[in-house]
Amino acid sequence: MIGFLYQQLHGRRLLVTAAIGLTLLGVAGTVFAAFPLKWILDKIVNDRDPGLPLLEPLITACDSLAPGTRPPGAGGHTQFGVLLASGLVLLALGLIEALVTFVRLSVATSVGQDLEAGLRNRVFDHLQHVPLAWHSGQRVGELTQRVSGNISDIGKLVTDGLVDLLSGVLTLLGVLAVMLVISWQFTVLSMCVVPPLFLIVACYTRWTKRASKQVARAAGRVAEAAAATIGAITEVKVFTAQRWASGKFADRVEAQRRPGLRAGRRQAEFGPLVIVLLTLSNTVIVTIGAWIAAGHGHEFGLWFLTIPAGSLTVGTLTVFLAYSKLLYQPMRDLAKLMLLVSTASAAVGRVREILEQPCEQRPGEHGRSSPVRLHGEVAFRGVVFGYRQGDLPVLRGVDLTVRAGSRLALVGLSGGGKSTMVKLLPRLHDPWHGAVTIDGLDTREYPLDVLRGNIAMVLQDSVLFEGTVRDNLLLGRPGASQEQIETAARQACVHDTINRLPGGYDTVVHEGGRNFSSGQRQRMAIARAILRDAPVLILDEPTASLDVEAEVEVMRAVECLAEGRTVIMISHRLSLLGHVDEIAVLQAGRIVEQGSYQQLKARGGVFARMLAEQNRYATEPVELSMVDHAGAGEENEVRTT
Ligand SMILES: Nc1ncnc2c1ncn2[C@@H]1O[C@H](COP(=O)(O)OP(=O)(O)OP(=O)(O)O)[C@@H](O)[C@H]1O
């Protein structure tokens, strides 16, 4: 985890070094803050001067302010002078500490926030470049939790934890050094608690870390359940499934609560255990120290330790006790720190899992140079592909050629692999064997941004993103003028609809485009595709979810879009295939028939049977006149593979 954090702090290391320097200054202030108390007590009880050459001028200056004469017997400075000088030093140290704390916390907050923001952007960007195959195995809510919640946990460690940890460790070392100078014997006594403390810390850290990991995983499952239910709120309401959804959600919340409770309980046990240990050590020091400071006997022996009588003044004992308090504070804070570190460490693991996923080629990482605009001849050559290695492939040797500028309809039974086939074109997946080519070149040879820039897709249910209608259309061609946008919208038969909206092109699109009908969304997606002006167009059942009226409008828009492009259109509605040049039938992972509508119908094969089947359930059989003009006069041979 340390290595990961160090890596993330790149560019802010100077700031961190400054924060460490300030922490050192603050710790020095804390460590020396106990001394003025010793000077005061030693002066009052034993009439002893501080004996620090650095302070002499200050005390002398304070002496001159002393009311009346010096008390008789006073060797050097007046009580007033020592008291006032000690008070001033105390005040100065306090002010330095306050200032340093402010700067240190500000720096920590800024570094923590920067780290969080930087890491969040990096993870989000990485997520978009990870192959689709990896995404298929993930849950949206879970990933969202990693990007938001888990990264916050890491930021929290930097903002809250690391400052405490650093100043704690430095205070510990500083205090230890001063205590050793004051009385090494008492320091050794105080340190007796360290071995049991170390054991307790080791055990509890392990337990808390395990629980934190479970909490992080469970939090992901909670987020996932919430996202899934809220995303499908219409279905939940329609099926009156609220109780079922709440029950499922409550189970997940419970699964998160249990390890959270365990982690909290461990933390609750840890704090008091440390306090008991520290109280034991303190009691021993107070009683033995007071005995020695009171001047009883010649010396005090305890196992291998011999503490000479009179080796401790009341002032020294008080300072020593103040220091042991300082020493114990960081130890007590360990419980809080332990939880922060464990939570952050679990979060780092989950975030790293994403960052370690290999990326697809990023825009600009060009393989070989290639023309930016392709002609659009598409071919599948012996393509074998499946989603999971080891499973039976979905495509089992697909051979298909689509001439540049022609229109091909891909038909077949549901689940046959039509959508899978077209997903291979923009390399959303790569084939196991064989190749997909455009203009005779394997798609893997093109830079990914060039390849995808030459393909436009309109899917069954188009997604609109949050933003305005204009923002959504501009996705097709960033930088397009208003005139170009409106022309595209007109061609897609959606311009009038947009104009009727209260905000026109500035109307805000809600999440997923919920404030638009399916037909409007489809036509906007078509306008987006028109703006993209790609030579290859993929239409994956663009009218599947539409009523007849919307279907007619969308098909009219499709007509505009298809003009002069290579079109591959997936459709179950064979009645819509009148305008295509060729139809290819996919069955059992292979293209089994290819030809014009008329040819395939006349052939009496798979397509003819599908057509007959569809007509059996239609109130009126499909009008051949709709398709006649497409197939008429074509002498294409029916190809069977
Ligand atoms: N992301 C995925 N992960 C695993 N299997 C998948 C995935 N997508 C599709 N499949 C499987 O691949 C097979 C082909 O699916 P595909 O969506 O390509 O069929 P289709 O012919 O387009 O179906 P439909 O006409 O119903 O849309 C199906 O068995 C499906 O379960």
Q: Parallel, antiparallel, or unpaired: how do β-strands 441-442 and 433-438 relate?
A: antiparallel
Distance CA 318, CA 251 (A): 55
| Cβ atoms of residues 159 and 112 within 8 Å | yes
Per-residue confidence (pLDDT) for residue 34, from 0 to 100: 75
Minimum-distance ligand 1 atom for the alpha carbon of 572: 25
Per-residue confidence (pLDDT) for residue 623, from 0 to 100: 44
What is the Cα 508 distance to its own chain's centre? 27
Distance CA 536, CA 588 (A): 26
Q: Residue 241 CB: number of other CB atoms within 10 A?
A: 15
When mean pLDDT is compared across 83-87, 446-450, 548-552, the lowest value belongs to 548-552
Question: If you measure from the C-alpha of residue 392 to the centroid of ligand 1, how many angstroms do you get, rounded to a whole number?
Answer: 13
Question: If you measure from the C-alpha of residue 272 to the centroid of ligand 1, how many angstroms do you get, rounded to a whole number?
Answer: 58
Strands (E), 364-426: 378-385, 395-402, 407-412
Using the predicted structure, report yes or no on whether residue 343 has a pLDDT greater than 70: yes
Minimum-distance ligand 1 atom for the alpha carbon of 416: 21
Using the predicted structure, report yes or no on whether residue 226 has a pLDDT greater than 80: yes
Distance CA 172, CA 170 (A): 5
Name 441's bridge partners: 438
502 φ, ψ (degrees, to nearest 5): -55, -35
Closest CA to 230 of 220, 241, 219: 241
- Pocket-testing residue among 418, 540, 543, 610, ligand 1, by greatest number of atoms within 8 A of Cβ: 418
Residue having the nearest C-alpha atom to atom 1 of ligand 1:
136
3-state SS class at 252: helix
Q: Which residue has the tokens 């034991």?
A: 280
Using the predicted structure, report yes or no on whether residue 119 has a pLDDT greater than 70: yes
Tell me which H or E stretch contains 594.
strand 590-595
Closest CA to 217 of 313, 113, 155, 146: 146
Distance CA 122, CA 147 (A): 10
Q: Going by C-beta distance under 8 Å and a sequence separation of 6 or more, which residues neighbour residue 116?
A: 151, 152, 154, 155, 158
| Cβ atoms of residues 604 and 640 within 8 Å | no
Minimum-distance ligand 1 atom for the alpha carbon of 132: 1
Distance CA 85, CA 262 (A): 52
Q: Going by C-beta distance under 8 Å and a sequence separation of 6 or more, which residues neighbour residue 52?
A: none
Question: If you measure from the C-alpha of residue 136 to the centroid of ligand 1, how many angstroms do you get, rounded to a whole number?
Answer: 12
Distance CA 363, CA 95 (A): 54
What band does 639 get if pLDDT is binned at 50, 70 and 90? very low
3-state helix, strand, coil in the chain (%, to 5): 65, 10, 25
What is the average pLDDT across 359-382?
74
Structure-block tokens of residue 218: 């469970």
Tell me which H or E stretch contains 272.
helix 242-293
Per-residue confidence (pLDDT) for residue 536, from 0 to 100: 93
What is the average pLDDT across 505-531?
85
Distance CA 317, CA 190 (A): 13
Residue having the nearest C-alpha atom to atom 3 of ligand 1:
387
Q: Going by C-beta distance under 8 Å and a sequence separation of 6 or more, which residues neighbour residue 610?
A: 411, 574, 585
Question: If you measure from the C-alpha of residue 417 to the centroid of ligand 1, how many angstroms do you get, rounded to a whole number?
Answer: 6
How large a percentage of the chain has pLDDT more than 70? 88
Q: Residue 244 CB: number of other CB atoms within 10 A?
A: 12
Minimum-distance ligand 1 atom for the alpha carbon of 387: 4
Question: If you measure from the C-alpha of residue 393 to the centroid of ligand 1, how many angstroms do you get, rounded to a whole number?
Answer: 11
What band does 371 get if pLDDT is binned at 50, 70 and 90? low
Residue having the nearest C-alpha atom to atom 25 of ligand 1:
414
Residue having the nearest C-alpha atom to atom 18 of ligand 1:
417
Per-residue confidence (pLDDT) for residue 636, from 0 to 100: 37
Distance CA 36, CA 42 (A): 10
When mean pLDDT is compared across 230-244, 492-506, 528-542, the lowest value belongs to 230-244
Residue-wise pLDDT tens digits, 61-78: 888 877 765 554 445 778
Cα→Cα distances 429→15, 107, 132, 523, Å: 44, 45, 7, 27
What is the average pLDDT across 514-521?
84
Report the range out of 133-137, 159-163, 541-545 with the highest average pLDDT: 133-137
What band does 304 get if pLDDT is binned at 50, 70 and 90? low
Q: Parallel, antiparallel, or unpaired: how do β-strands 455-458 and 536-540 relate?
A: parallel
Question: If you measure from the C-alpha of residue 541 to the centroid of ligand 1, how many angstroms do you get, rounded to a whole number?
Answer: 14
Per-residue confidence (pLDDT) for residue 437, from 0 to 100: 94
ipTM: 0.96
CATH label, 12-66+75-355, candidates 1.10.3720.10, 2.30.30.100, 1.20.1560.10, 1.10.357.10: 1.20.1560.10
- Pocket-testing residue among 135, 385, 387, 396, ligand 1, by greatest number of atoms within 8 A of Cβ: 387
When mean pLDDT is compared across 326-330, 380-384, 428-432, the lowest value belongs to 326-330
Q: Residue 21 CB: number of other CB atoms within 10 A?
A: 12
Tell me whether residue 50 is exposed, middle or buried, using C-beta atoms within 10 angstroms of its C-beta: 0 to 12, 13 to 18, 19 or more. buried
Using the predicted structure, report yes or no on whether residue 597 has a pLDDT greater than 90: no
What band does 626 get if pLDDT is binned at 50, 70 and 90? very low
What is the average pLDDT across 305-330?
73
Tell me which H or E stretch contains 73.
none
| Cβ atoms of residues 524 and 492 within 8 Å | yes
Mean pLDDT of all residues belonging to the chain = 81
Using the predicted structure, report yes or no on whether residue 348 has a pLDDT greater than 60: yes
Using the predicted structure, report yes or no on whether residue 609 has a pLDDT greater than 90: no
Question: If you measure from the C-alpha of residue 327 to the centroid of ligand 1, how many angstroms do you get, rounded to a whole number?
Answer: 64
Distance CA 224, CA 242 (A): 16
* Amino acid identity for residue 310 in this structure: G
**pLDDT: is 546 or 163 the higher one?**
163
Residue having the nearest C-alpha atom to atom 9 of ligand 1:
420
Residue having the nearest C-alpha atom to atom 6 of ligand 1:
387
Question: If you measure from the C-alpha of residue 421 to the centroid of ligand 1, how many angstroms do you get, rounded to a whole number?
Answer: 10
Whether the CA torsion 483, 484, 487, 492 is positive or negative: it is: negative
Question: If you measure from the C-alpha of residue 419 to the centroid of ligand 1, how many angstroms do you get, rounded to a whole number?
Answer: 7
Cα→Cα distances 3→10, 260, 582, Å: 11, 27, 58
Cα→Cα distances 488→499, 526, 557, 585, Å: 14, 8, 10, 32
Which string of DSSP letters, residue by residue, matches 5-23?
Answer: HHHHTTT-HHHHHHHHHHH
The binding-site residues of ligand 1, defined as CB within 6 angstroms of any ligand atom, are 136, 387, 394, 412, 414-420
What is the Cα 202 distance to its own chain's centre? 29
Question: If you measure from the C-alpha of residue 130 to the centroid of ligand 1, how many angstroms do you get, rounded to a whole number?
Answer: 20
Per-residue confidence (pLDDT) for residue 607, from 0 to 100: 87
Minimum-distance ligand 1 atom for the alpha carbon of 421: 18
Using the predicted structure, report yes or no on whether residue 431 has a pLDDT greater than 70: yes
Distance CA 45, CA 54 (A): 23
Which string of DSSP letters, residue by residue, matches 519-572?
Answer: HHHHHHHHHHHHHHT-SEEEEESTTTT--HHHHHHHHHHHHHHHTTSEEEEE-S
What band does 332 get if pLDDT is binned at 50, 70 and 90? low
Structure-block tokens of residue 156: 């929290």
